[in-house]
A and B are shown apart, each in its own frame.
Chain A
Amino acid sequence: MALDLTTDIKITWCAGCPNSQILVAFRQAVEEFVSAGSIEIHNIVAGAGVGCHGKISDYLEINTFNSLHGRIVPSLTGIKLANPKLTVVGFSGDGDSFSEGFSHITHAARSNSDISIFLHNNQVFALTTGQATATSPKGFKGGTMPEGSINEPINPALIMLAMGATFIARTFASDIKRTKEIMKEAMLHKGFAFVEIIQPCITFFDTREYYKERVYWLDEKHKKGNLDCAFKVARMKTADKVPCGIIYQTFKPTFEELV
């Protein structure tokens, strides 16, 4: 029987929103795991925060936990701790984990909780109609900062590296195939896996063209096991180049093993 991961709920993302591509990538990743017999469908739990990204939980016919704005990460750690045989992933937003819930994602990285976080980074509070988040570029004009954001943006990958995450990747939502592959790698990774998904918000901050021109994929020359190389690549998110792929991967005991 073919796996049907859809629900009866009508998708309410804007037509053409890259969130749909993330949804497709994740469904494909799950389908591939299930058909290969490597993960059973009932052993997957997908958490979500609150924002446009969080709607994804309604569109997935699997176990889900749609938390509060900013609070999904500790719940996922709790789920994994309660039942280690579950594969636990979470969909979060840049507002959701780098503005409101910043302490949770940093501590989960630090403790190497065995969960995967997929960050829909659209550099904007989309669901609340366009305000600057902690990842918005300086000067971003949103409803709450009409003269432009005065802060430098946070670089999520760099923070995650500094906090000790053991798997860090960046991907571009429109590349569904690569996003799916990276999601699978993250889910198979034992330890805290962080995937920043560049997800332009076509309604409040359309960066599609910007990223299309700048995204490039890391090749085998990148030593993902080397922390210095990883820092170099993570820092390289400059005006002209945005490296994507697996930036860093290492292994150490997980939080759930140690508790």
Chain B
Amino acid sequence: MTDSNTTSNGIKTIAIGGAAGDGAREAGINFSELLNELGYKTFSSFDYPSLIRGGHNFARISYSIEPVYADYKELDVLVAVNAESVLVHQHSLKEGARVFVEEAYLSEVKDLGIDLIPLPMKKIAEELKAPQVARTSSAFGAYGYTLGIPLNQLKMLADKVYANVGSEMNVALVEKGYNHVKKLGVPQDVCDIPTEHGEIGEVMDGNKAIAKGFLAAGLEAYVGYPMTPSTSTLQFLAKMAKKTGLKVVHPEDEIAVLNMALGMSYAGKRTAVGTANGGFALMQETFSLAGVSEIPIAIMVAMRMGPATGVATHTSQGDLQFILHAGHGEFPRLVIAPGDVEECFECAADALNLAWKYQLPAVILSDKHLSESYKSVTLDTKSKGPDFGKRAVPVGSHYVRYKITEDGISPLAFPGKANVVVKATSYEHNEEGEAVEDKADVQTMQDKRFRKLNGLYQDFAWFPTVKTYGDEWSDVVIVFWGSTKGAMLEARKQLKSPAKLVQVLWMEPFDADRIKAELSGARVIIDVEANHTAQLAALIREKTSIEIHNKVLKYDAQPFTPTQLAEEINKFI
């Protein structure tokens, strides 16, 4: 039994485990939605191997009245659909944890010395002629009972949570589970369901928030090829394509994905693509084409553990330097790394807008833990509208696509407009868009492209390039990026001494002055990243000459968990 102070800050954690195909993931989302509807704030992550049946899958949800940024390892509740779930999680159970175990497997785990609550999930499903994937719904009922929710209220909530998978059957399963544990005499919690809470938002993962961010910024087309952990963005958008007129395409490979997307942008459609790091590796030459041809494109890259196929369904922050140096040749790019679901939304909108404002490739860099973890959120969807950038004025004079301008931005026009000829090319080119090799022309056009960075430097003032949290005055400074934000904000509650937390969002262009300001005067600087080579620390050193010696690096394909991260950081402070 682990003992931690996580209960003291009011956070509870529940895990649902089973074999692949047992529906642990769906159950995790349902439980999160239930808690969310009750007014709690949730964070849930999903751990699954790269296979369709068997293996061990689990969903883990931490919740509280206050916002929760990461799931904890230490469990208050475990729903074990198979025996393995108990074996895997037995050492993470807190004192007095409730363990609901599938009755059929009770005999396999009854001698572990753990208090178990047998729940005949399989049998209940059979009785109600429900498919076995739905069996966790009876655990939903059992769990609801222990929370102290009256049956009628729970049924109403279940009706809502299961609305799109057939609520009638699921509500019946919920009721059975509820009554089963009631009859067993399982004690109910003193009801601490929030009576006062802010707006009840929705439970959403990073991938959906990225899609919503693109949409808020006026997305008209999306192209992708399935690869974990980027696939759900593609599927979410594909599902809404018919109703909305959004063009969503899944072509033959990732090389086609980006080339097709550039064709769409060239012809005037606000287009984004999504892929994982491996798919992005295939897009390198075309990424460079976007740079030289100045065709606006937003690219979501969701990292998983590499190299190569790597650990296909698990997380990593191992590709920051790859993205920063992606594509051959030199050209300006934007690389933004959000750290939570809300930031996924905001940064995706910013990426698409800035891609069009500056006519360059803009990458939004996510990872498995961010893309596929769910959080209770209320997105401020009205805060982000489309920015169309500098458009060509109706031309009487001769239009040239790559006009040399002071700010480096050439007015944009699209084919199909009378008296306008739009020439895009992969070759270095003159203002017209025709290939050149003359040294003056070659240099002039590069200078024009790089002048666009000046505008982005000005934009530092308007965008969250860097965020700080915690004890701003402290001389202990912790820097981190991406999904590590979640565990970091939670770990902060368990640090031995006050610390200032610095999250870097804009990786390129890099807000070096701001970082210098945040790090100067620190007594201890600690870099936290989920990779082997401390890639953010390398970037900070490159841009600011500040060398960070204290590093907490994790590269076992698992995200940081709050308690363990705090322990690691506490060694330095």
Chains A and B bind each other: yes
Min CB distance B310 to A, Å, is: 24
Min CB distance B353 to A, Å, is: 19
Q: Does A221 contact B (CB under 8 A)?
A: no
Cβ B266 vs Cβ A79 within 8 A:
yes
A173 CA to B414 CA, complexed, in Å: 31
Total A-B pairs in contact (CB under 8 Å)? 134
- Chain B residue numbers with a CB within 8 Å of A103 are 252-253, 256
Min CB distance B313 to A, Å, is: 26
Cβ A82 vs Cβ B263 within 8 A:
yes
A7 CA to B248 CA, complexed, in Å: 36
8 Å CB contacts to B: which residues of A40-83? Answer: 40, 42-43, 45, 50, 55, 57-58, 61-68, 71-79, 81-83
Cβ A42 vs Cβ B260 within 8 A:
no
Cβ A86 vs Cβ B416 within 8 A:
yes
Min CB distance B226 to A, Å, is: 16
Cβ B260 vs Cβ A78 within 8 A:
yes
Q: Does A107 contact B (CB under 8 A)?
A: yes
- Range for the number of chain A residues in contact with chain B: 35 or more
- Chain B residue numbers with a CB within 8 Å of A83 are 267-269, 414-416
Q: Given A50-B426, A77-B260, A83-B416, check contact A68 B289 (CB 8 Å).
A: yes
The segment from B29-37, B46-54, B384-392, B427-435 that touches chain A is B427-435
Min CB distance A112 to B, Å, is: 14
A86 CA to B269 CA, complexed, in Å: 14
- Chain B residue numbers with a CB within 8 Å of A239 are none
Q: Given A45-B415, A74-B256, A79-B267, check contact A259 B247 (CB 8 Å).
A: yes
Q: Among the listed A55, A65, A73, A85, which residue makes an inter-chain contact with B424, where contact means beta carbons less than 8 Å apart?
A: A65
- Chain A residue numbers with a CB within 8 Å of B416 are 42-43, 63, 83, 85-86
- Chain A residue numbers with a CB within 8 Å of B221 are 78, 81-82
Q: B250-262 interface mask toward A, CB cutoff 8 Å, 1 = contact, 0 = none?
A: 0111011101111
Q: Among the listed A57, A75, A259, which residue makes an inter-chain contact with B423, where contact means beta carbons less than 8 Å apart?
A: A57
- Chain B residue numbers with a CB within 8 Å of A79 are 263-264, 266-267, 415
Q: B353-384 interface mask toward A, CB cutoff 8 Å, 1 = contact, 0 = none?
A: 00000000000000000000000000000000
- Chain A residue numbers with a CB within 8 Å of B435 are 9, 55, 58, 66
Q: Does B286 contact A (CB under 8 A)?
A: yes
Q: Does A104 contact B (CB under 8 A)?
A: yes
Cβ B259 vs Cβ A81 within 8 A:
no
Cβ B251 vs Cβ A75 within 8 A:
no
Which residues from chain B sit less than 8 Å from chain A, CB to CB? 220-221, 223, 247-249, 251-253, 255-257, 259-269, 271, 285-286, 289, 414-427, 432-435
Q: Which 7 A-B pairs have the closest CB atoms?
A: A78-B263, A75-B263, A82-B267, A63-B415, A66-B425, A78-B260, A74-B256
Could you give 18 example pairs across A and B, Cβ below 8 Å?
A42-B418, A45-B267, A55-B435, A57-B425, A63-B423, A65-B266, A65-B423, A65-B424, A68-B286, A75-B259, A77-B251, A78-B223, A78-B266, A79-B415, A81-B260, A103-B252, A103-B256, A107-B252
